Structure 1
Amino acid sequence: MEQKWRPPPLGMFKVNVDGATSGDGNPSSIGVIIRDNRDETITALCMSLNGQYPSLENKVIALEKGVLLAKEMELQQIMLETDALIVVQSLLAGDKEGDLGHLLEGISDTLNSFSSWQIKHLKRNCNRVAHELAQLAKCTSTKQVCKGVSPPTVQHLIQLEKA
């Protein structure tokens, strides 16, 4: 059975995140999209970072930016989704050790400000919009935030998900 992206339940907002790295010395980048139960885009972010990060660290940074963006939008109930299983496991386990411990601890602290939150691992094909936003930022080396509308470069993917 093919897994596909699904809207969150009523009252919740789904925050999909992804990171992109390159081996050519260019900066890493992230993509975030937040949607409601009607599959409407609340906000989207594609952002080039100020350096090149390992893949796992980049995905944790993407998660951090997604959580901070949801907080900035004053959302109360969020469902986080990423294709980085180890990040999901580390956050749920309360892992604060290692190179990423400080980032995970900051994310965890911020999540405590929401009335409810969940985090879920999903396959990359269910996280295509966040992936493409990260790729866009990697190619353009820019930061773009769209509130209330999907960036034109991913609108076709969002339509495909609705099919």
Structure 2
Amino acid sequence: MGCLKLNFDGATDVRNGVSGIGAVFRVHGITRQAERCPGSSNQVGNLPPRAVESLAMLHGLRFALHVGFKKLEVEGDALTFLNVLNDSSDDHSSEGHILDEVKQLLKSFISCSWRFVRRDCNKVAHRLAKEALKLSQPWWFISESGPSWLHQCVGMDFECEV
């Protein structure tokens, strides 16, 4: 299989104690959306931003491996989290175990790179994470279809790649 591009993001609504995660996948210009939307505090809870970003990337990595991709390009707008991925030292924070799993999964790919992108180049994943805050259960979909706002955001993200 070819190279898969993953954009991920997390969102937290501190007032309501809910966190959401979103991811969008692209293969050679074809958009594949896969969103893991835990929209209830039972599933994710009110986690620190780095933990939510870690979970968003973790679910994206699991999906990529599940569908058989071995080459991956990852983009996200959480610079601090992405920098931690380059650090080989142990992380003793509350989300350290999630970061450890992310680092282990990264080794499962033949080729895997990650980089920071501005929020305006990560609109799809950001919007998916925000939408997850409103949902009561995870939402996955893999198709060319989806709500109109999704297609508009995808177009904006593609403009960043040109």
TM-score between both structures, scaled by the size of structure 2: 0.86
1:115 aligns with 2:110: yes
Displacement after TM superposition at 1:112 (Å): 1.3
Aligned match of 1:7: none
Q: Which amino acid in 2 is paired with 1:47?
A: C
AA aligned opposite 1:35: R
1:162 shift after superposition: 4.0
Question: Is residue 12–residue 77 contact of structure 1 (8 Å, CA) maintained in 2?
Answer: yes
Residue 15 (str. 1) matches residue 6 (str. 2) = yes
Q: Contact 1:32 / 1:133 at 8 angstroms: preserved in 2? A: yes
Deviations along 1:22-42, whole A, 9 cap, x unmatched?
12133201001111121x123
Could you tell me how far 1:13 is from its partner in structure 2?
A: 1.2
Which range is displaced more, 146-155 or 13-22? 146-155
What SS does the corresponding residue of 1:145 show, helix, strand or coil? coil
Moved more, 96-105 or 113-122: 96-105
Q: Which runs of 5+ in 1 are unaligned?
A: 1-9
Alignment of 1:35-54 (within 5 A): 35-38=26-29, 40-48=30-38, 49-54=43-48
Matching residue's letter, 1:15 = L
Task: Give the equivalent residue in structure 2 for 1:93.
Answer: 87
Structure 2 CA distance for aligned equivalents of residues 77 and 20 of structure 1: 27
Q: Which contiguous aligned blocks of 4+ residues in structure 1 show a shift greater than 3 angstroms?
A: 160-163
Q: Deviations over 1:25-61 (max 9, x none)?
A: 33201001111121x1234114124311111111111
8 A Cα contact 1:17 1:82, kept in partner: yes
Task: Tell me the secondary structure at the aligned position of residue 28 of structure 1.
Answer: strand
Aligned-residue Cα RMSD (Å) equals 1.8
- Percent sequence identity is 27
Q: Which runs of 5+ in 2 are unaligned?
A: none
* Cα 1:58/1:111, change in 2 over 3 Å: same
- The residue type equivalent to 1:133 in the other structure is L
For 1:122 and 1:160, locate their aligned partners in 2 and report how far apart those are by CA, in whole Å. 13
CA deviation after TM superposition for structure 1 residue 150, in Å = 5.0
| Cα pair 1:18 1:131 within 8 Å, conserved | yes
Retained in 2: the 8 A contact 1:46–1:142? no
Partner secondary structure for residue 13 of structure 2: coil
Q: Conserved in 2, the CA contact under 8 Å of 1:13 and 1:34?
A: yes
